[in-house]
Amino acid sequence: MKNTSHILKIFLLDWLITVLMYLVGVLVSAVGSEKNIDVLKHVDLIKTNSSSGNVLSTLIYLITSISMVILFSLLINLSKIKAPWKDFIISQLLYVLSVAFIIILLPLFL
């Protein structure tokens, strides 16, 4: 039960960091302009114009965002949660799979 508790804590921490990063991105990009640059805008760019530049910029945006979340989660895990590496890696795999699942479903709801 202890392993499941660590995995769930880290997984929820990842999603909390993701939501906070999204909200900060929306606030920062929306201040002073009418254009909002976030993940929805990047996915919409691929839908409207699937050139290699749009796909590459979206891929870089997503990899950078996911890497930042994993880095923050790692730092918090090392200092506060102190879960074993196995639990940390399992939670990160679950996080990446859930992000991929949401990205695949996102165009269905746009």
Range of the domain at 35: 2-109
Consecutive H or E run containing 10: helix 2-30
Buried residues in 3-13 as b, exposed as e (16+ CB within 10 A): eeebbebbbeb
Q: What pLDDT, in 10s, does the model give residues 86-99?
A: 999 999 999 999 99
Task: Supply 58's token pair.
Answer: 């979206």
Q: What pLDDT, in 10s, does the model give residues 65-81?
A: 899 999 999 999 999 99
Q: What pLDDT, in 10s, does the model give residues 32-58?
A: 565 656 666 666 766 777 666 667 777
pTM of the model: 0.82
The count of structural domains within the chain is 1
